[in-house]
Amino acid sequence: MFIVSIMSIMSINPNLTLRNKKMSTSRKIITEVFALKKPERVPVGVCLGGSWPFFVEGVSLQELLSSPPSRAAEIFYRVNERVGADFVTVGTGATAFLVEALGGKIQFTKKGAPEIDSLLISSPEDIDQLDLQSVFQSEKIKWLKAVAEETVKLNENPENNNPRSLFVSGRAPFTLAGQLLGLETLSKSLYKNKLFAEKLLAFTTDISVAYFEFMLQVDGIDGIFIADPSASGDVVSVRHFEYAVIPYLMAVIQRLKSYQKHSLIHICGNISDRLHLLPQTGIQMVSVDSKVDLRNAKQILYGKIGLAGNVNPVFVLEEKTADEIYIETQKCLDDAAGDGGFMLLPGCDLSAKVSEENVRAFVTASRKWRSSL
């Protein structure tokens, strides 16, 4: 009987329409949650800037690069729309493209974003040889901006009765520094050559800011999504997080403040011991990995910044049945959504193995969840 009731729920399209009942649009709900309010329902996203919509449609990023930007925008927007996501991020492959534009080598994979194939920096002198302005002459970087422009057109079409909130994705200074120098070498530099590390982090701060400024020239973008996977609690100590992550992230947020856009960061791993440091940066919301206890995170951040997360993208969204996903997602919502200021997200990017059916179960759980408060 329980299975039947869940499956009947699953038959409902999670992409709620505004036709039969006047409801807030996805964009309005996202605005409310970033203001730490409790909207009429919990907002949900399915993709943290990754390639999952391309997986679903059976195309690669490399293939799309040779197509008009409108094709990539159509795929990304329509898949998110189809499963009922409230916000859409654009910028898949941005990090690799930035490195390539600076002179690095990248390698395309059959699935997912390109991999960085070479390190650009080995000494402080190498930093001086990099031309930041050359980045914006790159055809791939221009293509990313064009995809954002085409996505805005889809979102603002007069026939679209539920515009999503649109974010552009990019990397934080610490993760970018690790991709230019190598994470292990960067970590050693924090101990043995602080001046080198600081010079590199100042440069990657400039890259991060310049890239977001370039993308925010697109009118209709609502926010920035900053990925900082290398700042994980599994990689960096709290002491080095406070020294090498926080000041540079703060600089990015402050330098972009005049754009008045939403800001969201995702950091992989267990960051429970450093969550209290994030509000000082000016970031509005943090997306946490499935390793983080949501109840504890909510307690630390409540009233300061928003919280997002954190259904396990592998052990739940990839490996469990749709019915089990629905139940696990409801538990996640019970832990963190009651007081508002919360957005439902996977704990990290989705792999190609995650089915659309499973994502629908995840989204439907957010639509059906009701707080008892």
pLDDT of residue 23: 67
The dihedral built from the CA positions of residue 134, 92, 221 and 202, taken in this order, carries a sign that is negative
Q: State how far the alpha carbon of 57 is from the alpha carbons of 88, 150, 163, 232, in Å.
A: 16, 18, 22, 31
Share of the chain above pLDDT 90, in %: 85
Residue scoring higher pLDDT (33 or 372): 33
pLDDT of residue 17: 43
pTM of the model: 0.92
Average pLDDT over residues 298-321: 96
Between CA 93 and CA 291 the distance in angstroms is 25
Predicted confidence (pLDDT) per residue in 71-87, tens digit? 999 999 999 999 999 99
Does 160 sit behind a cis peptide bond, omega within 30 degrees of 0 on the bond before it? no
pLDDT of residue 15: 53
- H or E stretch covering 254: helix 246-255
Confidence class of residue 373 from pLDDT cuts 50, 70 and 90?
very low
- H or E stretch covering 330: helix 322-336
Closest listed residue to residue 310, CA positions, set 342, 351, 357: 342
Between CA 249 and CA 281 the distance in angstroms is 7
Predicted confidence (pLDDT) per residue in 168-213, tens digit? 999 999 999 999 999 999 999 999 999 999 999 999 999 999 999 9
How far separated are the first and last CA of the chain, in Å rounded?
A: 28
Question: Could you tell me whether strands 106-107 and 165-171 are parallel, antiparallel, or unpaired per DSSP bridges?
Answer: unpaired
Residue-range domains of the chain with CATH = 32-367 (3.20.20.210)
Tokens of 157: 């079409």
Q: 5-9, 248-252, 266-270: which range is least confident on average?
A: 5-9
State the virtual CA torsion across 319, 322, 327, 330 in degrees, nearest 10: 100
Between CA 201 and CA 193 the distance in angstroms is 13
Predicted confidence (pLDDT) per residue in 81-134, tens digit? 999 999 999 998 888 999 999 999 999 887 778 888 889 999 999 999 999 988
Planar angle of CA 229, 31, 86, nearest 5 degrees: 65
Q: What are phi and psi of 285, to 5 degrees?
A: -155, 145
Q: Which amino acid is at 155?
A: N
User: Could you tell me how far CA 253 lies from the centroid of its own chain?
Assistant: 15
Tokens of 252: 């990015």
pLDDT of residue 14: 53
pLDDT of residue 24: 85
Residue with tokens 């990290």, as numbered in its chain = 348
Q: Is the pLDDT of residue 5 over 50?
A: no
| Three-class SS of 24-88 | CCHHHHHHHHHCCCCCCCCCECCCCCCCHHHHHHCCCHHHHHCCCHHHHHHHHHHHHHHHCCCEE
Predicted confidence (pLDDT) per residue in 214-243, tens digit? 999 999 999 999 999 999 988 999 999 999
262 forms beta bridges with 223
Closest listed residue to residue 282, CA positions, set 298, 266, 262, 267: 262
pLDDT of residue 9: 46
pLDDT of residue 241: 97
Predicted confidence (pLDDT) per residue in 138-168, tens digit? 999 999 999 999 999 999 999 999 999 999 9
Residue with tokens 């990539």, as numbered in its chain = 72
Closest listed residue to residue 263, CA positions, set 250, 274, 275, 272: 250
Planar angle of CA 66, 71, 77, nearest 5 degrees: 140
